[in-house]
Every structure is written in structure tokens, then in C-alpha cells.
Amino acid sequence: MIFKEPLIEGQLIKRYKRFLADVRLPDGEVVLVHVPNSGSMKGVSDPGSLCRISKSNNLLRKIPYTLEMVQASNRQWVGVNTSLTNHLVQEAIEHKKLKEWSEYTDFKREVKINRESRLDFLLTSKNKSLYVEVKNVSMAAPPRAVFPDAKTERGQKHLRELNKLAIGGFETEILFVVQREDCETFSPCDEIDPVYGKLLREVAKKKVIPRCWACKITPSSIELSHPLKVVL
């Protein structure tokens, strides 16, 4: 995904109220920035960190700036805009990047599976279908990427929903998208959410396939680049 306008590099002053941050621009001006990330952003929200933000030309937006990337303490740039994650996966589907999905000819997003729940993608071909839930990963202890960065009851629910579908005979996967380049493996973060880690291991034994891909990060783009080994 290539950003429509060049990103602006600044300095993160602080993140607050979960979805807001103050950023100092190169000219010294401090601007209010939208933070599209509901997680803790542990390791990628330290005050004083370099960051990259986008600016919308939509005059109806109350906050025109969006936090897109933050530089971690090891100087690795990390994508923190979780609203981009499914767009990155869609691009990968359209360009047949994941060879395991190459046989699927069509897809739908935000697929309703019951009254309360939706999953991110349904991939279909003439004789097959695959349900996929996508999770954004920004936290790492390089070379290991980890998820989640905060306790996630919603994430636990998605694992249970995938497991129900798998028991019912459907193909199911959970795809972890690591928006950084300094990792070689992926594991659940048991220290933060042991229930999630336990559930992930359980459903992986029952035909829910866990998959992980890292991203290539540049000052003007983000894209899925290569798979990481999942270590459970």
C-alpha cells in the first residue's frame, strides 16, 4: 500500500485517551493526531519517539492527522495504524502473494457468521471456501513478534468462532500481520493474555491454521513481504 501523500515525520510527545496523541512537527508546531489502534502499543508509544503521520485533505474531518508509524527503541519503524491491516491483506490476496491461498478466486470482507460476529475475510473458489480472521501485530521482542499487547476478550471470541467453524467442516485460518521488519518468528504473548495463548494452541490442534506474515516498511508504503514461522 502506497500512501497517497508523503508522510510527515515528527516526534511523539504523548498518547492519551487511547485514540489521541500529540506530535511535534519539524517546524516545532504541536498537532493533535488520531491514533487508530485500540491496543496498548507497548514498545511503540514511548514519548520522544520518532513517528510518521499522514494528513487528510478531507475538510470534514475534525482531526486531519493520523499516526501511521512509530520508531521503536531499536530504531525499527513499526506500522501502528490497525485500520490498514485488512487493506494490506486484500492487496496480498489480489496479487496472489500467499501461495496457500492462490487457488481461491474470489473473496468477501467483513463476513457475518452469526447475529453477533463477523470475520474479516471469506475466500472462495468453485469447490472450496476459507474463513480468515486478521490480527495486527506491532509488539515484539526481536526476533520474536508477539500478540496481543493487551488482554483481548474480542480476540478470544474470534478464536472460538473460528474453532466452531472448523468443527463444522469449514477451512479456517487466523493471520497475524506483523507491521515491522525485525522479526523471524511469531508467538502468542502469554505474559499479557495467557487465556489467548492457551486458546490459540487449542484451536491450532483442531484445524484452525495460524499463519503469520511480516511487512516491508518504507517512508511511503507498507506491504506484506514474507511469512514468519509460528511457534506455539
What mean pLDDT value characterizes the chain? 96
Question: What CATH fold (topology level) applies to the domain 8-74?
Answer: OB fold (Dihydrolipoamide Acetyltransferase, E2P) (2.40.50)
| Residue 192 DSSP code | T
Lookup: cell for 204: 491450532
Mean pLDDT score, 148-153: 96
Lookup: cell for 23: 506530535
Q: Write down the domain spans for the chain.
A: 8-74, 82-230
Question: What CATH fold (topology level) applies to the domain 82-230?
Answer: Trna Endonuclease; Chain: A, domain 1 (3.40.1350)
Measuring CA to CA, how many Å separate 6 from each of 28, 89, 151, 232? 19, 22, 34, 39
pLDDT in tens, 6-46: 999 999 999 999 999 999 999 999 999 999 999 999 999 99
Mean pLDDT score, 199-228: 97
Mean pLDDT score, 142-160: 97
Instruction: Determine the straight-line distance between the first and last CA of the chain, rounded to whole angstroms.
Output: 30
- The two most distant CA atoms of the chain are separated, in Å, by 58
Mean pLDDT score, 49-60: 95
Please return the burial class of 134, using the count of CB atoms within 10 Å of its CB with bins 0-12, 13-18 and 19+: buried
pLDDT in tens, 75-100: 999 999 999 999 999 999 999 999 99
pTM of the full structure: 0.96
